[in-house]
Structure 1
């Protein structure tokens, strides 16, 4: 579904991503794990068209998206939930969700999908007229994910969904991620909490300073001595 080949990304004189290659197959949950500064968020922003690559190629569902505009990428069903959630403050929960469907052509199905989002996230239904800024961190993460689902994603990019959340919300968010995947959405997950990410992932890639240094199934990476020592406190 997504294939990244020899991707490099530069910030001024700094090479943040160094000739990495990986792929995400339809139906999978794939995770990229690594310490802060490893290049994880840069990779997602580059896939989404928000950052331009220095070299390399990216194809999505057989189409070259290396130089595609962000809105064109969204229209193809590749949707990102950004780090830090970035809900629209001053707008209600429902208005935030409505913005998620902005690029859709099938407007006749939007109301039904809104109902599905409210079924998946009951707290959002209870607070649909509330300013998004007044939600807790966990509720804002649910809103950001619900807004992305309103775009009808085929591939969902999640950037640090557990960041800043209490353990009870982390457990719930990852339960929802698994459920979204089981309903047919492919997921590429960036997550500093390697333990929870690898538990739900079919496959994982480990990044260090802009390079992929290890790849395997999520289960095997959980057992890896190198991953245990570096990321799991083993």
Structure 2
């Protein structure tokens, strides 16, 4: 579904990503793990069109999306839940969810998908008229994920969904991620909580200073001495 080939990204003269290649197959959960500054967020932002690569290609459903506008990337079926959630303060929960549907014209379909979001995240329905900025961190994460789902993604990019959340909320969020995947959405997950991410992932890639240093199934990476020492506290 997604093929990233020889991707290089610069911020000015700084090379943030160097010659990165990986793939995400339809129906998978794939994790990118690594320390802060490894380049994980840069990769997601480049896939969603927010960064322009210096070199390489990004194919989504066999079409090169490297040079197309972010709006068209969303329309093609990729939605991005950014690090830090970025809900719209001053707008209600309902209005935030509606922002996820800004490219859609099928009002009945949007209404149906909003109902599905409320089924998956009942707390959002309880707070539907509340300013999104007043939600807890976990509730804001649910809102950011719900907003992305309203755009009907085929591929969901999740950037640090557990950041700043209590352990109870982390387990709940990852259970929801599995549920979203089992209902047909492919997921590319960036996450510092490597253990929990790899436990739910079909495959993973480990990044260090802008390049992939190892990859394998989630199970294989969990068992790797190198990964355990670096990221799992082993």
Match of 1:106? 106
**Which residue does the alignment assign to 1:92?**
92
Query: 1:138-177 CA deviation, whole Å, 9 max, x = no partner?
Result: 0000000000000001000000000000000000000000
Q: 1: distance between equivalents of 2:44 and 2:76?
A: 16
Q: Which residue of 2 aligns with 1:126?
A: 126
Point out the more displaced range, 100-109 or 150-159.
100-109
After superposition, what is the alpha-carbon deviation per residue over 1:55-111, rounded to whole angstroms, capped at 9, x for unaligned?
000110011101010000000110000000000000000000011111113222111
SS at match of 2:113: helix
Q: How does 1:64-83 map to 2 (within 5 A)?
A: 64-83=64-83
Q: Which residues of 2 match residues 99-178 of structure 1 at below 5 A?
A: 99-178=99-178
1:22-50 CA-partner distances (Å, limit 9, x unpaired): 00000000000000000000000000000
Question: For residue 34 of structure 1, what is the aligned residue in structure 2?
Answer: 34
TM-score using structure 1 length? 0.99
Is 1:216 the counterpart of 2:216? The answer is yes
Distance 2:39 2:106 in 1: 36
| Distance in 2 of aligned mates of 1:193 and 1:13 | 30
Q: CA RMSD in A?
A: 0.5
Query: TM-score by structure 2 length?
Result: 0.99
Provide the rounded CA distance (Å) in 2 between the counterparts of 1:226 and 1:105.
49
Instruction: State the secondary structure of the residue aligned to 1:205.
Output: strand
Aligned ranges 1:194-205 → 2 under 5 Å:
194-205=194-205
